[in-house]
Amino acid sequence: MCWIDQGKRILVTNRRAGSISLVNITSGTVTEAKIGGRPEQTAWLNFSEHLVTVDGGTGAVFFSSLNEHGLVIEHRVATGHRGSSLAVSHDETLLAVSSVWDRRVSLISTEAVNQEPAHYQLEFEPRLLCFSPDSRLLIVLDAFGGNIAAIDVRGRKIVGAENLDAHNIGGVTFLAEDRFLVTHQILHSDSPTTENNIASGLVIENVFQEVQIKQTKAGSVDFEPMIVGEIGVPSHGAADPACVIVNSKDERFIALSGVGEVAILNSYGVVKERIDVGDRPVDLLLSKDEQRLYCLNNLSETISIINVQNRVVVETISLGGTPKPTTRERGEELFFDGHLSRFGWYSCHSCHRNGHTNGQLADTFGDRTSGAPKRIPSLLGGRDNNPWAWNGSMRSLHDQVQQSGKTTMQGRGFTARETNDMVAYLHSLQQPPAFRPALNNKDRKLIDRGREIYNSTGCVQCHVPPLTYTSDAKYDVGLADEHGQKLFNPPSLNGVGYRRQFFHDGRAEKLRDVFIEYGHELNDALDDDGIDALIRFLQSL
């Protein structure tokens, strides 16, 4: 959401419909304007009265004017694959766009949109962005894990990077020039998913964290994690904290997207109230007088209006008629529903953000035991990757969903219909684009040589091309878990370049380590050039 008309109307981005809804907050009326594509996020430029939209399908950024006939696209700027988030500097001179699968952030001058954007490559997939109050620093946050980076927008360079003990970062806002607040989760990989552990917040914590920015003599910045505050309590979890905003009294408002609530915290970070809103609240706006809080409910397709002083919902605005949900849409609701876990501490989305992975380990009894945590796989493009679980014990995705409801969530479980719904949603998740497609003819030849090595060294026996790059058997690859388990279900290699850990327990931190340090199942020893070619081929998947 964003404000236009000096706070008289709210613009809402509708991804599925490819449209923008204009909400008159006085009358409650809603009109809709088509923009096309798959709009992910929108911002309003007051100085030029232009709407800026990032298209998640193409990665393009559209600059549009708004008139009585609807939206008129005036400029289009290419940024990268599947742009996901944008931010406007406080002086409105710069627009930042994150391209998740390109691992790239682009800076666009709003005063010269025809100029080539400045691009910054990162070591992680970026999503949320936030400019410092003086518009000099851009904070970039990990789409899946806990990485953060800082870009000096005047010096045009990356000046800081850090990894927080975090995943599923849902919101960010500045508290001062040198201090910002993030909402996220903390996963304790060594804590099995028992009922008591989940209920006590020992598996996943839902928190806010203050981070201090410190300038160094070398011109870079360091991030110093400071206050970490828990939002949930043992009998009342707070799954998937998302958008966070702060008012002039330093009160904090946090959307708890997994449990359909908004939490109100005082300046000390103490939760004073939790208010029921709609399904999956994802964004918040404050009125100019700070008396009304507007909460966008993604799955309800509504806006809840909260009286800040009385802390109650005073009105709910529907963004349009909601048709009967499809099987896939019912599955999506289940995927993001934190109530399916014990006391609402986490959802499926918590570890598989938007269907991908937080890249960490979890002890979920997936191999029928505890004490041997396993790496959390991505679910993107995995519809045909049978069997499931690291030990291959789940022959179908239906079996895996049922098992996860029992031993990972420890909630009420899934009915037969809900299992079918969840599988339908998971089947709709597309795999990400190739990590590093061929750049030129020389690079293409290197990839072709790597493919030949892949085919001749035995890799194809377990990771069968060309579709799934996996197989339905279990193999002893010379690695054992804490209980001596040696037979493992080979994961798909599609998108393997995006992974941040390798093997069942993440013991290899880099793809090169798989072959150099562990000599992973190569029939013949390879020289450095051969390994380079093999890795380059794998990165092209």
- Mean pLDDT over 434-455 rounds to 96
Cβ-based neighbour number of residue 439 at 10 Å: 10
**Co-location of 393 and 450 in the same domain:** no
**Co-location of 473 and 409 in the same domain:** no
Q: What is the mean pLDDT of the chain?
A: 94
Band of pLDDT at residue 125, cut at 50, 70 and 90: very high
Beta bridge pairs of residue 342: none
**Co-location of 375 and 448 in the same domain:** no
For the chain, the domain total comes to 3
**Co-location of 11 and 132 in the same domain:** yes
Q: Is residue 294 part of a domain?
A: no
Q: Is residue 300 part of a domain?
A: no
Give me the pLDDT at residue 523, please: 62
Lowest mean pLDDT among 35-39, 106-110, 251-255, 261-265: 35-39
- Mean pLDDT over 343-363 rounds to 97
Dump pLDDT digits (tens) for 154-196.
989 999 999 999 999 999 999 999 999 999 999 999 999 999 9
Residue 335 has pLDDT above 90, yes or no: yes
- Mean pLDDT over 25-49 rounds to 90
Residue 61 has pLDDT above 70, yes or no: yes
**Co-location of 16 and 142 in the same domain:** yes
Dump pLDDT digits (tens) for 272-282.
999 999 999 99
Q: How far apart are CA 116 and CA 135, in angstroms?
A: 20
Q: Is residue 206 part of a domain?
A: no
Structure token pair of residue 186:
């903390």
User: Last residue of a domain, which of 148, 176, 210?
Assistant: 148
Residue 388 has pLDDT above 90, yes or no: yes
Q: Is residue 346 part of a domain?
A: yes
The sign of the dihedral angle between the CA atoms of 215, 221, 226, 228 is positive
Q: What is the 3-state secondary structure (H, E, C) of 511-539?
A: HHHHHHCCCCCCCCCCCHHHHHHHHHHHH
Q: How far apart are CA 344 and CA 235, in angstroms?
A: 9
State the CATH number of the domain containing residue 60: 2.130.10.10
Dump pLDDT digits (tens) for 498-536.
999 999 999 999 999 999 888 787 767 788 999 999 999
Domain that holds residue 338: 327-427
Q: Is residue 258 part of a domain?
A: no
Residues with Cβ within 8 Å of residue 433, at least 6 apart in sequence = 81, 82, 101
Give me the pLDDT at residue 208, please: 97
- Tell me the DSSP string of 208-269: EEEEEEEE-TTS-EEEEEEEEEE--BTTB---SEEEEEE-TT--EEEEETTTTEEEEE-TT-
Q: Is residue 100 part of a domain?
A: yes
Three-state DSSP class for residue 43: strand
Dump pLDDT digits (tens) for 2-35.
999 888 999 999 988 888 999 999 998 999 988 8
**Co-location of 398 and 503 in the same domain:** no
Give me the pLDDT at residue 51, please: 92
Q: Is residue 108 part of a domain?
A: yes
Cα dihedral 80, 54, 40, 501, rounded to 10, equals: 30
Q: How far apart are CA 290 and CA 309, in angstroms?
A: 9
User: Last residue of a domain, which of 397, 427, 457?
Assistant: 427
Beta bridge pairs of residue 119: 106
Closest C-alpha among 280, 418, 276 to residue 349: 280
Structure token pair of residue 516:
């150099």
**Co-location of 359 and 465 in the same domain:** no
Contact yes or no for 386/395 (Cβ under 8 A): yes
**Co-location of 412 and 460 in the same domain:** no
Phi-psi map region of 439: left, alpha, beta (phi>0 left; psi -120 to 50 alpha)? alpha
State the CATH number of the domain containing residue 490: 1.10.760.10
Q: How far apart are CA 389 and CA 398, in angstroms?
A: 12
- Mean pLDDT over 300-315 rounds to 96
Q: Is residue 251 part of a domain?
A: no
Residue 322 has pLDDT above 80, yes or no: no
**Co-location of 411 and 477 in the same domain:** no
Band of pLDDT at residue 131, cut at 50, 70 and 90: very high
User: Last residue of a domain, which of 116, 148, 180?
Assistant: 148
Classify burial at 432, counting beta carbons within 10 Å of its beta carbon; exposed 0-12, middle 13-18, buried 19 or more: buried
Read off the DSSP letter of residue 246: E
Q: State how far the alpha carbon of 337 is from the alpha carbons of 13, 280, 343, in Å.
A: 22, 8, 12
**Co-location of 397 and 423 in the same domain:** yes
